[in-house]
Amino acid sequence: MKQTLLQGGVHGIVLLDKPVGITSFVAAARVKSYFRAKKAGHTGSLDPLASGLLPICLGEATKFARFMLHANKSYRVVALLGVVTTTGDAEGTVLSHNTAAHTIDCLKIEQVLSQFRGNIEQLPPHYSAVKHKGKPLYRLARQGIKTERKIRHVSILNLNLLHYSYPYLCLDVTCTKGTYIRSLVEDIGKQLGVGAFVMALRRTSIGNSSLNESITLQALKHLPDQFLKNAYLRPVDEAIVSWPIVWLDDDQSVRIQQGQIISVVEPSLDPLLRLDTWVRLATRDNKQLLGIAQIGHFNAIKPRCLLTATLPVTVL
């Protein structure tokens, strides 16, 4: 299942356990240097104060990084009750203290948590990367400029109370794309009537990828040789491995690689595939991953992103 050095480059996904204290950009740059890769990018940014699972895409895997952004994510979060900060986390300036926070019990917390399970509305934090007229909100906030924020519709798939010992509240959260944990914690604090902010945040999964499968920067740096590093490279198509595969013959493969739209008949194409469904393209003979496409009318295969390196397709 691993991806190795191919065509003079490194291609695959590294499941990194990002440490606290660095940005996701810095983490990706370090992984890139350790693998001596030509390209690198991360999927789903983590703030410097957050740690945990951060998939780093190398080489051709960067072409599929955007699809991992759509996956559900899970977090372990520690919140501090009774305090509100400017940023919603421990980096911000304290705005208020509420001495009544010590009266909150587990029963009250469970009652409030039930209000946040399922589909909810959120306002992104002022200190976030969401843009307003082309500028990130956090830059405007640092200048003292408060802008109107658009409501987001997100889903909280799982929200469990793991532990509570005043003033610390530990939660397990699984949510959809675009959810801000800081906003969730602040809103829970408001409903409790005492305020709250994020003390610590650790991402535990993205889609089917788990923190248990990850490696730290420190461990990666001290692996003795490139071959051992390659053992931590996962397939370039891991983020889209659930997509169906359309198998192509030699002539179809050539035409696809030239960017042409082709028509495929059964049994290569599942008749149940809907219009605009995303699929992976692979050669029937040598099981080479060619790229990705969408289904058009009359079984048309429309190539959307093609690979330049020779890489195997992942078959479940």
Q: Are residues 281 and 307 in the same domain?
A: yes
Q: Which of 7-16, 32-41, 98-107, 150-159 has the lowest mean pLDDT?
A: 7-16
Q: Are residues 64 and 86 in the same domain?
A: no
Whole-angstrom Cα distance, residue 166 to residue 143?
A: 34
Give the residue numbers spanning the domain of 217.
5-70+209-230
* CATH code for position 219: 3.30.2350.10
Buried b (16+ CB within 10 A) or exposed e, 202-215: bbbbbbebebeebb
Q: Which of 173-182, 218-227, 276-285, 299-308 has the lowest mean pLDDT?
A: 218-227
Whole-angstrom Cα distance, residue 80 to residue 182?
A: 12
Backbone φ and ψ of 76, nearest 5°: -110, 120
Whole-angstrom Cα distance, residue 180 to residue 294?
A: 31
pLDDT in tens, 253-269: 999 999 999 987 655 55
Q: Are residues 45 and 158 in the same domain?
A: no
Whole-angstrom Cα distance, residue 37 to residue 58?
A: 6
Reply yes or no on whether the pLDDT at 142 is more than 70.
no
* CATH code for position 251: 2.30.130.10
In this structure, is residue 200 part of a structural domain? Answer: yes
Whole-angstrom Cα distance, residue 96 to residue 156?
A: 27
In this structure, is residue 160 part of a structural domain? Answer: yes
Q: DSSP class of residue 220?
A: H
In this structure, is residue 85 part of a structural domain? Answer: yes
Q: Answer positive or negative: Cα dihedral of 220, 222, 223, 226.
A: positive
Measure CA 131 to chain center: 19
Q: What is the pTM of this model?
A: 0.87
Q: DSSP class of residue 255?
A: H
pLDDT in tens, 170-180: 999 999 998 99
Q: What tokens does 311 get?
A: 């890489």
Q: Are residues 145 and 247 in the same domain?
A: no
Q: Any idea which residues carry the catalytic annotation?
A: 47
Q: Structural domain tally of the chain?
A: 3
Whole-angstrom Cα distance, residue 192 to residue 232?
A: 44
Which of the four pLDDT bands, split at 50, 70 and 90, describes residue 143?
Answer: low
Q: Are residues 159 and 110 in the same domain?
A: yes
